[in-house]
Structure 1
């Protein structure tokens, strides 16, 4: 093998390596570096101190915030997985023509033509005390008074996140389901398998890579979300992202950087657990 043949693969990988280095590795390295700096109310000081991590790892408030974020993550992940799987299943197996599948999938993407903030704000006139839902429930006699928990609550946060992130679960699952050989389903049906047995023994095992990729998308998005928690909870709930946003607004950049590093480690641990359970290379 000549020198040119040995060097060619490295030269081909060089552009992508440079891009990842400049836009991924360098920013993370800067965040890690700043997380060890000192600060006061008006300035930050290049230094090497560890109390930013001590405040993050040994603070009851911080632990409670992380647990609250994990709670949101698990609830949103479970709901988006349930809704996303059945939407993808319907599109893949009950819509017969590719044209109609494309049309219905594009309909699912219509909300993404607007910003996240607009989509969140649109829930306020619907869920408010005098909103459309409460008015309809009271007028129908279903409830005697408007329901207070619908807006500016953890329920509203979860609802908005499910609305925002379900498509990130639908897309990879739909892509996986479309790759399933229909002959396998016909063979299972000919062998006497029921619809439930086909679902649990054929479709779900083959859909695991798509479910894993969708789960990674949803988990990472929810763990880093702060604007949804701020708007939809009305300041009555907290998340790690919101805590970091508040620290940045107070010019506490080293503390925010330390939280960012810890959050990154937590997210990577969750992603590593998902990848360990499911081999997503089949989908990639």
Structure 2
């Protein structure tokens, strides 16, 4: 049977028609990404190189905003304010990440492997969302009657004669800041880990148990490696939120604890927008380096 050879442009035409809808579908998201992420980021970068005084922003190129941030950091005898602030922020980030990872992994493991029915999984999963039914401020303020000097915790400890005087470090301290962070952001670790665990083939767990693996060995050698994508995604969520948070540090720290986000918020309040923009760019660079390091551990694009 004879065949008809079509011209090359006629052969490519159906392919072009198939590609057109994909571009049209991606256009709204691309425009949204450009308008609400790329453009503000570029504006922030530009403003970070502008000059300013007490009354106005001067659109003239200068590096003094970045020089002011690292002022004194070249000294070998003392640590500059910027490094101290980043160390404080990274310390909070590391502690919160560790606690939320342990809690998130444990809760997700229980929901994925110990809750048998889908309806009960849904109910318990909704229970995890209860903190999000109110605003962050209300959730943080709710800790004050518990942790305050005359709060329920101190009153209970005094009543049980476990302490002689109220514990001052329960509120407006590093402890209260970490506690609020864990309360607010553990859910961001639970969701991606739970999603990764639900994709694990249950026959792998049965095979490991049949081979004589203990419960801990199953978690270490099967569940943990197959959940690493969810762990990395949850870690990115928690780290990026904590690094830029200033409200929790301000409220639960009693305005006494420094963080990078708090510095940016104060500079914005005093209308020092170029200085705040420079700090924001440096913070973004640090966060991107952390995210880059996490993505080197797990290639999320291949795992998803």
TM over 0.5: yes
What TM-score results when the alignment is normalised by the length of structure 2? 0.90
The CA distance in 1 between the partners of 2:65 and 2:35, in whole Å, is: 26
Q: Which position in structure 2 is the counterpart of 1:256?
A: 276
The CA distance in 1 between the partners of 2:177 and 2:303, in whole Å, is: 31
Q: Which position in structure 1 is the counterpart of 2:37?
A: 24
The CA distance in 2 between the partners of 1:4 and 1:197, in whole Å, is: 52
Tell me if structure 2 keeps the 8 A contact 1:176–1:283. Answer: no
Would you say 1:46 and 2:66 are equivalent positions? no
Counterpart of 1:123 (choices 131, 143, 157) is 143
Displacement of 1:6 after TM fit?
8.1
Q: Which position in structure 1 is the counterpart of 2:296?
A: 276
1:272 is paired with a residue whose SS is: helix
188 and 25 in structure 1: CA distance in 2 versus 1, 3 angstrom threshold? same
Tell me if structure 2 keeps the 8 A contact 1:210–1:283. Answer: no
Q: Which position in structure 2 is the counterpart of 1:149?
A: 169
**Aligned residue pairs: how many?**
284
The CA distance in 2 between the partners of 1:135 and 1:197, in whole Å, is: 43
Displacement of 1:57 after TM fit?
3.0
Gaps of 5+ in 2: 1-11, 73-79
Would you say 1:234 and 2:249 are equivalent positions? no
Would you say 1:99 and 2:119 are equivalent positions? yes
2:129 is paired with a residue whose SS is: helix
The CA distance in 1 between the partners of 2:299 and 2:185, in whole Å, is: 23
1:67-82 pair list within 5 angstroms = 67-82=87-102
Displacement of 1:96 after TM fit?
1.1
7 and 173 in structure 1: CA distance in 2 versus 1, 3 angstrom threshold? closer
Tell me if structure 2 keeps the 8 A contact 1:209–1:282. Answer: no
Q: Which has the higher contact order (CA 8 A, sep 6+)?
A: 1
Displacement of 1:283 after TM fit?
5.5
Displacement of 1:220 after TM fit?
0.4
1:190-269 pair list within 5 angstroms = 190-269=210-289
Give CA deviations for 1:62-85 in whole Å, capped at 9, x if unaligned. 221111111110010000001111
Displacement of 1:7 after TM fit?
6.0
Tell me if structure 2 keeps the 8 A contact 1:81–1:211. Answer: yes
Displacement of 1:111 after TM fit?
1.1
Displacement of 1:280 after TM fit?
1.9
Gaps of 5+ in 1: none
RMSD across aligned C-alpha pairs, in angstroms?
Answer: 1.4
Tell me if structure 2 keeps the 8 A contact 1:39–1:254. Answer: yes
Displacement of 1:23 after TM fit?
0.9
Displacement of 1:61 after TM fit?
1.0
Would you say 1:168 and 2:188 are equivalent positions? yes
The CA distance in 2 between the partners of 1:183 and 1:117, in whole Å, is: 45
Per mean C-alpha deviation after superposition, the further-off stretch among 62-71 and 253-262 is: 62-71
Structure 1 moving runs of 4+ over 3 Å: 3-7, 9-12
What TM-score results when the alignment is normalised by the length of structure 1? 0.97
Displacement of 1:282 after TM fit?
5.1
Would you say 1:83 and 2:96 are equivalent positions? no
2:49 is paired with a residue whose SS is: coil
The CA distance in 1 between the partners of 2:98 and 2:223, in whole Å, is: 19
